[in-house]
Chains A and B, each alone.
Chain A
Amino acid sequence: MEAEDDIGRHMMDENEIYANGGDGAGGEPQRQRPIISGEQLDVEAYAALYSGRTKIMRLLFIAERCDNVSMQLEALRMAYDEIKKGENTHIFRDVVQKIDGRLGPNYGPDPAWADAVDRRAEQRREKLENELNAYRTNLIKESIRMGYNDFGDFYYAHGALAEAFKNYVRTRDYCTTSKHIVHMCLNAILVSIEMGQFTHVTSYVSKAEQSPDAVDAVTSAKLHCAAGLAHLEGKKYKLAARKFLETGPELGNNYTEVIAAQDVATYGGLCALASFDRTELKSKVIDNSNFRNFLELVPEIRELIQDFYTSHYASCLEYLGNLKANLLLDIHLHDHVETLYDQIRNKALIQYTHPFVSVDLRMMANAFKTSIAGLEKELEALITENQIQARIDSHNKVLYARHADQRNATFQRVLQTGGEFDRDVRAMLLRVSLMKHDYALKASRKQH
């Protein structure tokens, strides 16, 4: 009987599916997949990937979010050192407050340094202003542009982001070549990302892309990353994934003031897993040679995508679980981790049940390393949202695929639509009658 064949066949598949990763029963030839438990984040190595202001912000974020005191102090220490190299006294005071003297006298408030920096800043600002005024009176476009640009850089270095943004945007009126425009756009994008205003990011990315001749491969990669980040923040995971996947390998280390190549792989991989269907996943991620370069940098993500595609769900979910702690410390990804994980898990469940007529819930619970009751609840939610077409036999703990009877459904719809039409037209005729009466009343009143 066909049903029995199905059951026999899928029992065999089930064995392979759930006995994966680690020592499987039966001693089948195992793929050597060392399951790396996401080790605790090495703060120094992580920070080395970035430069500029984002390095400081990321370190501060880690210090804020992680529970491990030693990691916290490590991050704060590195942040302090980094800030001292720059000129931002506001953040300096913040960090000093957070350190609270825990790192010894070398990391205390350094009023001398702060004052010196502030004085220098004031002097520089005056100088820049004088220069700018001179240029403005001379009306030399290029110099004015450079003047505003310098102002923007100055404010950015001192942490006055809104001012920096304003100045960068002012250069637009004095841009003469498309290279200038692209340069302005990149600056604006950088500041917007730091400020967290991603609508600006999207608009400036599209503006920059309008002049394709000035956009070389590196810039193009940078723009793709920025656009991807904007979509990620806007919770448009599919678009974000596409943008990250289109990023060329020329990005390399050129955009460390915003994003590292590892991040491109992580964000792109996770968003793709959560939002692409199988064909897209295969063509755009797995077979994508460009993206492979990025994936090499984060082998866990590569492994987990492979596992998902080959239906080894337990190991895929295990990788995800291990990475979670570190992903929560990432400044851009942390509020999306839960959603992405849920979406990936749901996709796994749906994909698992898709090819079968009936599924034994016990085996499925093993494959997903969860209890039967919990699995039932998850499946119930998915069935209610109509993502899985099936019904659960709770007595025997089996999931049966169920395809709606088109013919009956059509009849039902027809009768229902007919009834609705009936009701609506009758209501309309009534309203017409009421309005006619009202109108006749008004007309007769006017006549009198």
Chain B
Amino acid sequence: MNLNASTNSVEALVAKIQGLSGGTARDLAHLHSLLKESEDLLVSSDSTRPSPASFLSELDPSKHSLGYLYFLEASTSRPISKEGSGEVALSISRFIDACKADQIRLAPDKFISVCRRFKDQVLLAEAPIRGVAPMLIAVRKLQISSEQLTPLHPDFLLLCLLAKCYKTGLSVLEDYIYEVDQPRDFFLYCYYGGMICIGQKQFRKASELLHNVVTAPMSTINAIAVEAYKKYILVSLIYAGQFSTSFPKYTSSVAQRNLKNFSQPYLDLAISYSTGKISELESCVQMHKEKFEADNNLGVVKQVVSSMYKRNIQRLTQTYLTLSLEDIANSVELKSSKEAEMHVLQMIQDGEIYATINQKDGMVRFLEDPEQYKTCQMIEHIDSSIQRIMALSKKLSAMDEHISCDPLYLAKVGRERHRFDFEDFDSVPQKLNM
């Protein structure tokens, strides 16, 4: 009796879904509350009952997205066998592709858990690349605006990292994030994002992302910040050629006290980098090689070493007009003039210096930066930068206004002010009813 009743009610649910999904927003809200009530109906672990998956065929993911989502979530909550995993992954990816964004935004937690299970399946199957495109679509559908950070962002970036699809990851990183809900998502997002940028050799952006993790407000130290700090040291050395161990004022006191204790080998590396001598840097790398390897940072460390050669050669451009390859090799501590030639050639090709090599004399002639700041593109670039910055300023003042009207803030300020200014009868209420 019970079995029948429950099956019936599930079918009734399906019918409701089919009926209300196409309707107005009020219908959708009604449907949503219905679904919430029937949750335990769907998720019962009684194996005799037909699994919710069997009802999925009756629902159309593009029209009945919300209902489909609930059923899908219930069906995947059961343990899935290894053979079934591929199919499950496929069905989820099809759903993600087809679903309607506004419907799934009504139940974001369910959507996120479904996507996370998808990610797990894909990782289990050791084919992270299969998950990259669907996750990208999922992220875009879940976001309300491109400025919002969703919990799916770090999962997506993780898949990109594992699949080595750095470019796809970069496309998401180009959006500027202003709204963050969960600090943990934010930390992971910035950390993975930093790693992707390092992979793509965009060290400026990597430095920015990792800086945000390190200086984010936090009440206790977390492992993500520690790892991010290590990479941050390395990226600063590559990008800026120096690293200052003093934290900016807005860093949390927890971070200021504790981060350095975990990254001693990296700080040593920074100190030996500042001497400007390759030999010291190399010996430091040798000394701490196991630790770098254990942190999976050895590749970046090698890039740090090669960046030192580049920096030394760049310094030479400031003092010399022409210099023989022999002298370059000597002052930068390279082994031969052939190596020096290779380095200089690589740098010219990458656009890091402007020079010409005269092979007959073995001389390099350093030229000035040919950029004259007179072209139309440059003017456009400057103009667009100005526009962007003005927009940012407006945003900042809007946020300031918004906070000064925020009841929580006013309540706190009102309370504190009252403590100190007895004579102050300014009309800030002591406690606002919220």
Contacts and interface: CB of A to CB of B under 8 A. Distances in A.
A172 interface: no
A292 to B, nearest CB: 41
B78 to A, nearest CB: 33
A429 B180 CA distance: 10
Given A430-B178, A431-B216, A392 B183 contact: no
Contacts of B321: 391-394, 400
B373 A407 contact: yes
A112 B395 CA distance: 92
Nearest to A394: B323
A248 B347 CA distance: 62
B329 to A, nearest CB: 13
Contacts of A392: 319-321, 323
A355 to B, nearest CB: 20
A411 B324 CA distance: 32
Interface stretch (B33-41, B129-137, B295-303, B382-390): B382-390
A437 B392 contact: no
A422 B384 CA distance: 12
Nearest to A419: B385
Contacts of B319: 379-380, 383-384, 391-392
Interface in A83-120: none
Interface stretch (B159-167, B207-215, B254-262): B207-215
B389 A393 contact: no
B382 A433 contact: no
Interface in A406-425: 407-408, 411, 414-415, 418-419, 421-423, 425
A362 B246 CA distance: 46
A393 B320 contact: yes
Contact of B395 (A429, A437, A439): A429
B434 to A, nearest CB: 8
Contact of B399 (A405, A429, A439): A429
Contacts, number: 103
B322 interface: yes
9 contacts: A384-B315, A395-B322, A411-B373, A427-B212, A430-B212, A432-B403, A434-B183, A438-B217, A443-B408
Nearest to B381: A415
Interface of A: 379-380, 383-384, 391-396, 400, 405, 407-408, 411, 414-415, 418-419, 421-423, 425-440, 443
B186 A434 contact: yes
Contact of B211 (A427, A428, A429, A438): A427
Nearest to B319: A383
A428 B320 contact: no
B216 A434 contact: yes
Contact of A423 (B208, B361, B368): B208
Minimum-distance CB pairs A-B, first 5: A411-B373, A393-B321, A395-B322, A383-B319, A391-B321
B369 interface: yes
Contacts of B372: 408
Interface of B: 176-183, 186, 208, 211-212, 215-217, 219, 250, 315, 318-324, 327, 361, 363, 366, 368-369, 371-373, 378, 381-382, 385-386, 388-389, 392-393, 395-396, 399, 403, 408
A426 B318 contact: no
Contacts of B396: 425, 428-429
Which DSSP category, helix, strand, loop or mixed, fits chain A's interface? helix
Contacts of A426: 176, 178, 392
B249 to A, nearest CB: 12
A433 B371 contact: no
A438 B322 contact: no
Contact of B382 (A415, A430, A435): A415
Contact of B178 (A396, A400, A433, A438): A433
A394 B324 contact: yes
Contacts of B386: 418
Nearest to A404: B368
B327 A394 contact: yes
Contacts of B381: 415
A390 to B, nearest CB: 8
Nearest to A379: B319
Contacts of B183: 434, 437-438
Contacts of A407: 373
A434 B322 contact: no
